[in-house]
Copies of this chain bind each other. A is one copy, B any other.
C-alpha cells in the first residue's frame, strides 16, 4: 500500500483491510510498552491538515505519528480565508512542496480529501470528509470487534442513529459488509438514506427488530446542531425511541457489545450507565484508534513517489 491514499473503506478490498488490522495488532503492542516508541518512521514528516477542527482525532493521529518517531506538523488553516476550492488545493500544494511523507486531511465538505489527493504527491489519509467517509474510524471499530468477538465474519452489527448524515455509518457499512458481517441500520425514516438496501444493508425503523440477534450495537452521535433549541422535544423522543440503555440492550444478544465513536451525548444516544460501563467498549475504541492510525501511517508512508532526478511536478519542460 506504499504511497497509496486512504480515502475511504469503499476503495479497499478485504485483503487490504485485513492487512491493516494485522499491522495494527503489532502497533497496539507498542503503546503497551514502557517506551512507547519505535523508530519506524524516523525522519518522515506527517502533516495533519485539519480544515475542520477535531482535537480528538488530531491528537490520535499526532500520537500515532510520534510513536512511530515521525515528525508531525499540525496545520489548521483558518477556513474563513479558504472558501474557494482553488485556495484549499493551493494550500495543500504548498504543504506538499515541503516534502511530507503523508498528509492527513479532515474537511467538513465531502470529497475534499479526494480532490487534494489528486494534486498531491504525498499519500493522503482521509480523517473525515463531510458525511462521506471516516475510514480510520471504521478500521478501529473493526479492530475492536475482533478483539471482543475474535472475528467479524458471520456477526450481526446494528448501527443506530442518523445514518443519513454520518460518515462513521457509511465507512462502517462498507467495512463490516466487506468483512462478512450482516449490517443493519436503525433510525427514524428521515435519517435513513434512500437506496441503503442496495449496499446490502437491512434498514429498520424499529430498534427492537434491528437489535434482535445483534452481536454489536453501534450508536452514532447526534450532531450538536440538532440538540439545541426547537429540536429538544424531538431529542427526547429520539432518546426514548433509539437511545440505548440496558433495557433496550436486552433486544440484542446476551453478549452483545455497545460501541460509539464519541463524544457521547449522555442520556441521548446512550444511557449514562452504558456510556461508562461494559458491555460498552468506547475507550477501547479510542485506544485502538492510535494503533490503527499507526498501522495506516506505517503502511502508506514509503519512499515518496517523486524521485530526486524527476522533473518538477508543477509543469514539465514546457
Interface residue range, chain A: 35 or more
Candidates B47, B63, B224, B280; contact of A73 at CB < 8 Å: B63
Candidates B42, B73, B101; contact of A59 at CB < 8 Å: B73
Inter-subunit contact A42/B32 (CB<8 Å): no
Candidates B73, B90, B308, B313; contact of A264 at CB < 8 Å: B90
Which residues of A (76-90) have their CB < 8 Å from a CB of B?
76-78, 81, 86-87, 90
CB-CB < 8 A to A60: which residues of B?
A: 98
User: Can you list 9 pairs linking A and B with CB atoms under 8 Å apart?
Assistant: A34-B303, A36-B43, A36-B44, A55-B75, A56-B94, A66-B71, A97-B287, A277-B316, A280-B315
Inter-subunit contact A277/B59 (CB<8 Å): no
Inter-subunit contact B308/A32 (CB<8 Å): yes
CB-CB < 8 A to A75: which residues of B?
A: 55, 59
Rounded to whole Å, the gap between the CB of A246 and the closest CB of chain B is 10
Candidates B36, B101, B276; contact of A315 at CB < 8 Å: B276
On whether A284 and B308 interact (CB within 8 A), knowing A73-B63, A263-B90, the answer reads no
User: Considering the chains assembled together, what is the distance between the CA atoms of A313 and B284 in angstroms?
Assistant: 9
